[in-house]
Each structure stands twice: as structure tokens, then as C-alpha cells.
Amino acid sequence: MAKKLIVISLAVAAILLTMQCQIETEPKNDYQKQQKSIITIGVILPLTGPSFDGGQNVKRGIELALEELNHQYLKYHYNLVFEDSQYDPKTGVSATKKLIGVDHVKYIIGPQSSSVALAMAPVVEENKVILMSTGAQSDTISDAGDYIFRVQTNTKQEAEFFAEYIHDQTDHEKIDLLVMNTAYANSLIDAFVRQGIYFNQIEKFDSKETDFRTHLNRIKNCGSKYLLLGATRDTGGLILKQAKEMGLDIKFFATSPIAGEELIKTADAAADGLIYPYPYDVESEESNIKSFKQKYFERYGSSNDLYAANGYDAMKILSSCIEQVGDDVAKVKSCLYGIQDYHGASGTFTFDENGDAIKDFIIMTIKDGKFTRYTE
């Protein structure tokens, strides 16, 4: 009996030894074997206050990209630290200093506002931190620093495209302008004037205004037939709603930041007929656009907009350069300047010598409460 027990014990030991050898000698993949370095990226967006819905959509796009990146076999693991700019330059600067001084980030995605971006610019330049804006459009940003990039188009591109259409529609008549009083406003005016669009009446409003009837009355008294609206989707919705309530008979054009679901929710039928340029064709057959559209809907249960696509692209482009050249800001900056014909969620684009994304535009309108491509 003892002999049998010894034989059984030896057999079990042999099996266990064989299993142990197989486990120890079985090669592990690099992803499991290596401890990946962590890259922390700061994000500054309007998560409350004016244009909060645009900020939330950018956040969703960034987070979708982050989920994909951290499930891939990459050199680095990526973390995000979010800060709320509240669409306010001073708050944006404070958030920038916190991200750099406390969180020690080398890369920041955002902001949405031109005024916030221009306020942040000296801080990121001094600290050699890369800034990738997802919504700021002012032409002044092009010369704000060597470390500043944006996946959003600048005002000059939009004006060059849209001015020709406005000329055709208005027969070169002067039009009125109602615009948010930010750095974007002056850039917008200059860009359109350079294209031969002259404004009869210019009304500027504060980002926190909610009653636009005084501005609209002045425009009404001018007797113009056309009005160009430079506003975010939430304020733009209020303006269109109040204009309809006043019985203002005028043709509305707008700039691209107005496009978003919050506009429809606020303005309802008053938004119908609005015409605006857009550097993004959500119905495009490009595989990268279709793929993102499907992933976004599966993840969030709603359709994406340009800002969501911009957030996704910003995260993917930044991480792509970090993966290629390592966690070296100077090398990452050079990599970004070298990006040509990038096929992203927002379409195909190139970074120019100023770090501005160059994209194609289309004309959009709103019909029966839905955003649709404009056709004559």
C-alpha cells in the first residue's frame, strides 16, 4: 500500500512539475510583460456655462478615443485630467496653470473658445506644452505660438468659402452682423470684410446674455434683408427664437459654431431655413467618418457632431505622434507639423505651418428640425 502511495505521489509531482515548466516557459506577450509608462493629457473644455453642450460632445469624442487606445498594444497608457473652462479666459488660464504645475502635463486638448485659447497661449508657450484646440477659430491663434495646434478650421478659411455664397444670395448687398463679443468676433469681421462682405449694422453681445431683443430691434430698424449670426448653438437658438417671436422678417446666415442639437432644442421651428458653412460632412462615405459615426452611436446612443469628431481626432493624432517619437514634446511638436492628409473622424485634413487644420467646407441648412446638406 505504501509503495502505491509513493508511486502515485511521484506521478502527481511529475505532472505538477511538467505543468510548472509549461507555465514558466510559455512566452508572455509584451503588453502583459512590460509595465507601460503613463502619459497624462490635460483637457480644458466648457463643461458648464455657455457652449457646455459642445464641450460635453468633445469630451465624449476624447473618451471614446481613450478607450480604444488603452485597449491596444501601444507603448504608453493614457490618462486624462479634465478641467472646466466655463467659457471664461481667466478660468481657462487658472486651469492651464493647475494642469502644468500640479498634474505635470505636457499636452493639453482644448479649449473651445478663441478668447480662452488666446489667454492660455502665453502659458503653454512659456512652459513648452502642446495645446490642441478643438473649437477655437480666431485667426489670431495662428500666430499665438509654436506649440499651438487646432483640429478646428480658422475663420479665414470659413470666410473665404462662405463669402462667395453670401455674395450670390444677397446680390452683394450689405448685411447685418450679430456676434458674440469675443476674440472670434473681430477675427470674423476682418475675415469677411477681406472677402468683400460689408456690414451695415454690427451688434455684439456678451457670452452670458440671454435676452437679445434690444440687439434685434436695432437690426430691425435698419431695414436690412440679411443677417449673419456669429453665435454658439445655445445662444444662437435663443436669438432665432426671439427673432421669430418679434416677427423679424430677415434671412439668417450663420457661422459654423452654431450647429448642434442644442440649437434645435432651443429654437425649434425658428431654426428652419438657417444656412451656414460646415467643415464636416456627417453623411460622407469616407470610411473613417462612417466608422466613427457608428462607434459613437453604439457608445452613446446618439448622433455625433463636428466637435465630438474633433475631440476624437485630437486625442488620436496626439497619441499617434507620442507613440511614434516618444514622450518628448519637441519631437511630438515636429511630428504634428508633419501631418499631411490625415484621415480622421472629422474628415481628411492637413496641418499647415501655423498648426491650423485645413479642411473642406460644405453648405448646410436646417429643414423640418433636421440638419441637412443644402441644395439649390
Domain ranges of the chain: 38-153+284-359, 156-278
Taking alpha carbons only, the member of 251, 243, 231, 278 closest to residue 171 is 251
Buried-exposed string 53-90: b where 16+ CB fall within 10 A, e elsewhere: bbbbbbbbbbbbbbeebeeeebebebebbbbbbbbbbe
Q: Say yes or no: domain 38-153+284-359 is CATH 3.40.50.2300.
A: yes
- Distance between first and last Cα of the chain: 97
Assess whether the region 38-153+284-359 and the region 156-278 belong to the same CATH fold. Answer: yes
Any idea what DSSP says for residue 141? Answer: G
Q: How many residues does the chain have?
A: 376
Q: What is the pLDDT along the chain (376 residues), one digit of tens a residue?
A: 443 333 334 344 444 434 433 333 333 444 443 578 999 999 999 999 888 999 999 999 999 999 999 999 999 999 999 999 999 999 999 999 999 999 999 999 999 999 999 999 999 999 999 999 999 999 999 999 999 999 999 999 999 999 988 988 888 788 999 999 988 888 889 989 988 888 999 999 998 899 999 999 999 998 889 999 999 999 999 999 999 999 999 999 999 999 999 999 999 999 999 999 999 998 899 999 999 999 999 999 999 999 999 999 999 999 999 999 999 999 999 999 999 999 999 999 999 999 999 999 999 999 999 999 998 7
Taking alpha carbons only, the member of 203, 200, 202, 194 closest to residue 173 is 200
State the CATH architecture for 156-278.
3-Layer(aba) Sandwich (3.40)
Indicate the residue type of 354.
N
Residue 274 phi, psi dihedral angles, 5° rounding: -60, 140
Element (H or E) spanning 57, and its range? helix 52-69
